[in-house]
Structure 1
Amino acid sequence: MIQLSRNYSLPEREEQIIPIKVIAVGSAGSNALDRVVLDGMDKSDLIAANTDAQSLASSVAALKVQLGRSVTRGLGTGGDPELGFDAAQEAADEIRQVLTQARLIFICAGLGGGTGSGTV
C-alpha cells in the first residue's frame, strides 16, 4: 500500500508584480476600455489608441496615442483597414514607447472597422 505524506511546504514566493498594460485600439476598443475603467479598474496602465482625435479625447484612459496624424488628419478610417494599418505604422514609435517595460500586453479592438482591424 502506498502512503502519501502530508508534510509538504511550498517554496516562498517573492511578491513580484508583473508589468501589465492594456491597449485599446479604435473606437470599439476605446469604448470597451472606458467601460472597464468606469467599473473601477485602475487606469494607470491603460492606453487608448485611435485615429479619431475627437473619440480619443473623450477616452478616460491615462495614456492616449493618436494614430495616423498625417494619414487621417484626426478623422477615423471610414472602415478601411489599409488606412488603419498605415495610421498604426506612422505611430509605431509612439506605440512602442508607451508599451515599454510591459511583460504582458492585452490588446482590445473591434475587428469590424478600419482602425482596429488594420492595426491588429
Structure 2
Amino acid sequence: MISECNPHLNWVFFHSTYDIGHLIKILTQKSLPDQSIEFLKLVKMYLGERCYDLKEILSVEPFWWRQCGLDRVASNFNIKLSAGQSHQAGSDSLLTMDCFFAAMKVLFHHRGDSGLKFAFQAFN
C-alpha cells in the first residue's frame, strides 16, 4: 500500500471523492464497494489515515465561501497562482497546498501545532 512507503505522508485534496474513487478502483482492480464505510476502509488501507480534503475542511464555519471552487478559495485567502496555469494538475496541486496551509493558519492560529492532528480528516 502507498501509506506503507511513508507512514508520515499527508494527502491534501480539493473536492476529491471521485478522484480517490477512481484511484482506489485502479489499485484494487475491483468495483468500488456500495457502502461508504467500506470505501473509507479502502482509502485508509491504501492512502493511510492522513487524508485531508480542503473542500471538506472549508465546509465548517467561519468559511462562508465553502461552495466555491479552488480559484475562488485562493482569491479569498489572497493567494496567487505561483506556477503554471489554472486548472492544470501541477499548478492546481500547489495552489491546493497553499490554500490548505492558509486554512490551517486561520482555523488553528491559537494552537501550537498546525492543526494536522485535529479531526478535520475528510475520510475519517
- Which structure is larger by alpha-carbon Rg, 1 or 2? 1
TM-score bucket (shorter structure): 0.3 to 0.5
The TM-score with structure 2 as length reference comes to 0.36
* More strand, by proportion: 1
Give the structure with the larger helix fraction: 2
Relative to the length of structure 1, the TM-score reads: 0.36
